[in-house]
């Protein structure tokens, strides 16, 4: 009961959502069931279950950090995290508060600067990773870095050489890059479809955890 | 610039420097900014999802629109909270089953249509003429097929298969190189933006104090 019924639910809902795509208008020709309405309604179920699961994550974060308040070396940092969370929740409680006042000020002066700085830090780490990859001296690593170098040179004004480089960049992006991205997209689509079929058929059950 | 704006920009500049301090090594300033952003981001997303998902999809439909069919997904969402109890955590499998089943059913049609059929159509549906556009189209087809062959493991990559898969990995490496170059330039752009912000803040500080 604890595993069989969930497996049945997965199979039935998965097949319904798969079939509704092939029956535009009336689902399985049943007069009073619209495929579009069914899709919209069941899609909302996913959203509702997802949003009501959010407290689980918040609870877990809060619990972990409240526990850390007991540890002397972590106390200050956990208090900062909890304070940041509480201030944002309280300051954004009413919908109109979110677009002004403390909530917006913290968003613009804390969240945006820190996030963009963290991403800009990656420039240094990516550069060091490129250096290590280049030391590998393999043909494939050389192709990768040569392409990256040509793409990056596009942003540097170099007079007449820029024209040639821009032409080369356009060709790289529109031909081999597009071919690679398409092949990868197709591979991902096939992988996602295979995984979804395995889940619907009950072959893949790891999402249910252990008893 | 007012004193308040200067103060907020000062906070943003301080946090930017805190994050940059990680380039030296992990330190209390970085930890402070890291935990602060974790708390603030959690609070921000909690309130964003609360106002954009929970209120319109759950609260308004049940309390204002009289759409009582939404009691079912709401109950399923609340059943997720049984994960707090070891004894009753199996009940949450029913909610997970609906979530996974519906998502899997959608994934099959969506990924096959958007990432496989549309990509195949875009690859095949191109004119193979004896001009630059035709040659590009031909090279895209060769690139996509050879990259797909590289991911095909049901046959040994020897002989002609080996040659094609070798071309495939070259195409993929060019694609990765292009992605790598774009990523690095994106990060560099963010870094430039942060440095410009810091310089602007120093200038406004000087102007404010009449320097």
User: Which pLDDT band, with edges at 50, 70 and 90, does A122 fall under?
Assistant: confident
Interface test with B, best of A7, A8, A9 (most B CBs within 10 A): A9
For residue B121, what is the DSSP state?
A: H
Q: Is A208 on the interface with B (CB under 8 A)?
A: yes
Q: Contact A69/A75 with Cβ under 8 angstroms?
A: yes
Which residues in chain A touch residue B22, judged by CB atoms under 8 angstroms apart?
A: 121
DSSP state letter for B2: -
Nearest alpha-carbon partner for B200 in B12, B33, B4: B12
Q: In the prediction, which pLDDT does A147 show?
A: 94
Q: Does the pLDDT at position B208 exceed 70?
A: yes
The residue of chain B with its CA nearest to that of A102 is B8
Given a cut of 80, whether residue A211 has pLDDT beyond it is no
Which residue do the tokens 């079939």 mark? A19
Helix axes A112-135, A139-153, angle to 10 degrees: 140
Mean pLDDT of all residues in chain A? 91
Would you call B38 and A114 a contact, using CB atoms and an 8 Å cutoff?
no
CA B174 – CA A148 distance, rounded (Å):
8
Domain map of chain A by residue range?
Answer: 1-91, 99-135
- The predicted-structure confidence for B58-69, as pLDDT tens digits, reads as follows 999 999 999 999
**Which residue in chain B has the smallest CA separation from A83?**
B39
User: A58-90, pLDDT tens digit by residue?
Assistant: 999 999 999 999 988 899 999 999 999 999 999
Mutate to test the interface with A, among B54, B69, B178 (most CBs of A within 10 A): B178
CB contact under 8 A, B105 and A177: no
What's the average model confidence in pLDDT over B63-88?
93
Give the pLDDT confidence score for residue B4 in this predicted structure. Answer: 86
Rg (CA), chain B: 27
Say yes or no for a CB contact (<8 Å) between B39 and A84: yes
> In degrees rounded to 5, what are phi and psi of residue A26?
-95, 125
Identify the DSSP state of A2.
T
Mean pLDDT of B45-56: 94
Residues of B in Cβ contact (< 8 Å) with A121? 19-20, 22-23
Q: How far is the C-alpha of A136 from the C-alpha of A142, rounded, in Å? A: 9
| DSSP collapsed to 3 states, A127-189 | HHHHHHHHHCCCHHHHHHHHHHHHHHHCCCCCCHHHHHHHHHHHHHHHCHHHHHHHHHHHHHH
Q: What residues of chain A lie within 8 A of the CB of B52, using their CB?
A: none
Burial of B95 (0-12, 13-18, 19+ CB in 10 A): buried
What's the pLDDT score for residue A136? 64
CA B129 to CA A177: how far, in whole Å?
Answer: 21
Residue in the block written with tokens 């998965």: A14
- pLDDT, residue B211, reads 62
Among the listed residues B201, B137, B20, B10, the one whose alpha carbon sits nearest the alpha carbon of residue A116 = B20
CA A142 vs. chain centroid, Å, equals 30
To the nearest whole Å, the CA of B210 is away from the closest chain A CA by 24
- Which chain B residue shows the shortest CA-CA distance from A99? B48
Burial class of residue B144, CB neighbours in 10 A (0-12, 13-18, 19+) = buried
Q: What is the pLDDT of residues A28-63, one digit of tens each?
A: 888 888 889 999 999 999 999 999 999 999 999 999
Token couple for A38: 């069914």
In contact, A87 and B43? CB cutoff 8 Å: yes
- The answer to whether A24 and A13 are in contact (CB under 8 A) is no
Cβ-based neighbours of B91, under 8 Å, separated by 6 or more: B79, B82
Q: Does A15 touch chain B (CB under 8 A)?
A: yes
Q: Does A34 touch chain B (CB under 8 A)?
A: no
Does the distance separating the beta carbons of B40 and A77 come in below 8 Å? no
Say what the ipTM of the complex is: 0.87
Candidate from A3, A106, A147 with C-beta closest to B174: A147
B105 vs A contacts (CB less than 8 Å) = 13-18, 20, 196, 200
Given phi > 0 = left and psi -120 to 50 = alpha, else beta, which region is A157?
beta
Q: Does A186 touch chain B (CB under 8 A)?
A: yes
Name which of B76, B174, B187 is nearest A172 (Cβ-Cβ). Answer: B174
Q: Which of B39, B78, B143 sits opposite A180 (nearest CB)?
A: B143
Give chain A positions within 8 Å (CB) of B70: 44, 48
Q: How far is A15 from chain B (nearest CA, A)?
A: 6
Q: Which residue of A3, A6, A119 is in closest CB contact with B187?
A: A119
Residues of chain A with Cβ-Cβ distance to B108 below 8 Å are 14, 18, 193, 196-197, 200
Domain boundaries, chain B: 126-211
Is A183's CB within 8 Å of B144's CB? Answer: yes
Residue A34 distance to chain B (closest CA, Å): 16
The pLDDT of residue A183 is above 90: yes
């Amino acid at each position: 009961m604890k595993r069989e019924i969930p497996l049945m639910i997965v199979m039935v809902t998965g097949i319904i959502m798969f079939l509704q795509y092939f029956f535009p208008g009336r689902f399985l020709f049943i007069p009073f069931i619209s495929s579009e309405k069914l899709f919209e309604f069941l899609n909302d179920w996913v959203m509702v279950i997802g949003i009501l699961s959010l407290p689980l994550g918040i609870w877990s974060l809060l619990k972990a950090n409240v526990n850390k308040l007991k540890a002397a070396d972590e106390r200050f940092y956990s208090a900062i995290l909890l304070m940041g969370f509480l201030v944002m929740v309280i300051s954004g409680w009413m919908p109109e508060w979110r677009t002004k006042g403390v909530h917006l000020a913290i968003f613009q002066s804390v969240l945006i600067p820190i996030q963009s700085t963290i991403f800009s830090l990656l420039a240094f780490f990516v550069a060091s990773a490129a250096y290590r990859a280049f030391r590998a001296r393999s043909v494939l690593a050389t192709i990768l870095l040569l392409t990256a170098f040509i793409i990056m040179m596009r942003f540097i004004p170099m007079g007449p050489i820029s024209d040639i480089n821009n032409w080369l960049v356009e060709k790289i992006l529109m031909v081999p890059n597009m071919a690679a991205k398409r092949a990868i997209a197709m591979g991902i689509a096939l992988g996602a479809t295979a995984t979804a079929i395995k889940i619907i058929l009950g072959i893949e059950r790891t999402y249910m955890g252990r008893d | 610039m007012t004193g308040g704006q200067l103060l907020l920009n000062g906070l943003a500049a301080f946090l930017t420097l805190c994050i940059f301090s990680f380039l030296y090594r992990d330190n209390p300033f970085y930890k402070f900014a890291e935990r602060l952003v974790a708390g603030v981001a959690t609070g921000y997303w909690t309130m964003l999802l609360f106002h954009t998902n929970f209120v319109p999809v759950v609260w308004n439909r049940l309390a204002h629109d009289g759409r009582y069919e939404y009691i079912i997904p709401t109950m399923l969402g609340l059943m997720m909270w049984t994960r707090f109890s070891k004894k009753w955590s199996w009940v949450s499998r029913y909610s997970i089953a609906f979530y996974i089943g519906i998502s899997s059913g959608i994934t099959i049609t969506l990924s096959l249509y958007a990432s496989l059929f549309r990509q195949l159509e875009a690859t095949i549906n191109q004119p193979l003429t004896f001009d630059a556009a035709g040659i590009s189209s031909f090279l895209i087809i060769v690139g996509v097929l050879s990259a797909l062959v590289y991911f095909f493991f049901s046959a040994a990559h020897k002989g002609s298969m080996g040659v094609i898969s070798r071309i495939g990995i070259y195409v993929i490496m060019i694609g990765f190189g292009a992605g790598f170059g774009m990523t690095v330039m994106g990060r560099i752009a963010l870094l430039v933006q942060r440095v410009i912000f810091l310089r602007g803040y120093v200038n406004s500080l000087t102007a404010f104090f009449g320097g």
